[in-house]
Amino acid sequence: MLRSQFCAAKPAVCVLVIAMAQVAAQEDGEKTTALRDLLSRIDLDELMKKDEPPFTFPQTLEEFEYAFNEHGQLRHTKTGEHFIFNAREDLHRWNQKRYEALGEIVTQYVYELLEKKCNMTRAIIPVDATADEPSSFIYLSPDALSNPSKLLVLIQGSGVVRAGQWARRLIINQDLDSGTQVPFITRAMEEGFSVIVLNPNENHLEVEKSSKSSTSSTTEHLDEPVEKKERKDDKENKKRREFYEKYRNPQKEMETEWIPIRENGSSEEHVLYVWDHFVAKAAAKHVFVVAHSYGGLSFVELMNHRETEVKNKICAVALTDSAHSMWLQDTSKSTQDWLQQRCCNWVSSSEPLDTPLDSMLTDCPRVSAGTERHELTSWMSFESIFRFFGEVMEAKEDEEIEETSNIVTTRSSSLKSKHLEL
């Protein structure tokens, strides 16, 4: 209303304002056109590659100039310093790629520990895998399937961690004891357990995309109408500009695709598969499980599919900051009751270790792991977990002795009554 009154009173001023707006819009349009022309003449990919170092990194710890000392800590061989993530300032993506390259070397190092220090062997899965299909593996102790007494099953969380690892970050920045499953394996073996180490994140084969798909996409692009092609180019230029500003000169990476491993395409599938083909066939009378983070969810999912078998074979389950949800996973009342009796979840908390914590949901008992760091919960509760298993085992043995005593008493009474009848 005010605007209309102003225009009525000052028609010349209104005409001037409108003319100025038209000139400004024309200038913006010219600037946009000029920017588009400039971007079309610049190969951003080539420009970006000039400042960012290539993604070529050492293949061994020695070449990285790092080594694990006698305390299992990763240190620089010349300076003795911790691993430094920001090796080059303002090149976050390059630093991340370098960290990932070191992580792959660490994974191979942990495999060597499992094989040489723990005397474990690989078992290929699927068990009937052909030579030309994707496959994975788990680790077994020499007596994993033959030990008649006790078996320990270890399940890590999700992410980049592979068999034998709880957290890559801890291995690199803290030590091998806190970040790997080696202490659990050696302690279990000392106490007469056989061991199976799962590998739930090794569930696909990553391969380079075929050139056929890229060729077809190029052909489709050439056949598009001119207007559509220009709109696509504008979008692409904007995307590339934002990408450049965000990462400062990222290099173009190889395009890959994932081929899932048969019957092991996810953590849940993997745990179910290992149960059916290894744990269920093991001779051990008493099976114990340690599952961290997403591994806890995968274990609960196993119970949803194999409830009766799991209840008959597993004595106790130790979860560490488990990601499971009784409600979201639609867990049965009987499974919930069993977990209440046979399971304990050590969760991240500021409370002292083993402090009981209230839960508003129907769930297994929760106690503090003595740390607020999620990745540290398994290591911090290490002693408590084995104490928990020992208590369960003692109670189990007492039950078996009592059952045996009752059977003997019943048989003796039966024989006595028969003798009296005679």
**What is the Cα–Cα distance from 35 to 24, expressed in whole angstroms?**
16
From 141, 150, 145, select the one nearest 282 (Cα to Cα): 145
* Residues designated catalytic: 293
From 240, 249, 244, 228, select the one nearest 36 (Cα to Cα): 240
b or e along 321-353 (b: 16 or more beta carbons within 10 Å of the residue's beta carbon)? bbbbebeeeebeeebbebbeebbbbbbbbeeee
CB 317 within 8 A of CB 181: no
What tokens does 115 get?
A: 């094989």
**Residue 259 exposure: Cα atoms within 13 Å on the Cβ side:** 10
CB 345 within 8 A of CB 364: yes
**Pairing state of beta strands 136-140 and 193-197?**
antiparallel
**3-class state of residue 189 by DSSP:** helix
b or e along 74-84 (b: 16 or more beta carbons within 10 Å of the residue's beta carbon)? bbeeeeeeebe
**3-class state of residue 49 by DSSP:** helix
**What is the Cα–Cα distance from 328 to 363, expressed in whole angstroms?**
12
**Pairing state of beta strands 150-155 and 136-140?**
unpaired
Distances (CA, A) of 43 to 40, 206, 222, 229, 240: 8, 29, 19, 18, 10
**What is the Cα–Cα distance from 97 to 55, expressed in whole angstroms?**
7
**What is the Cα–Cα distance from 317 to 20, expressed in whole angstroms?**
75
Measured at the alpha carbon of residue 156, what is the angle toward residues 155 and 159, in degrees to the nearest 5?
140
Amino acid identity of residue 259, one-letter, is I
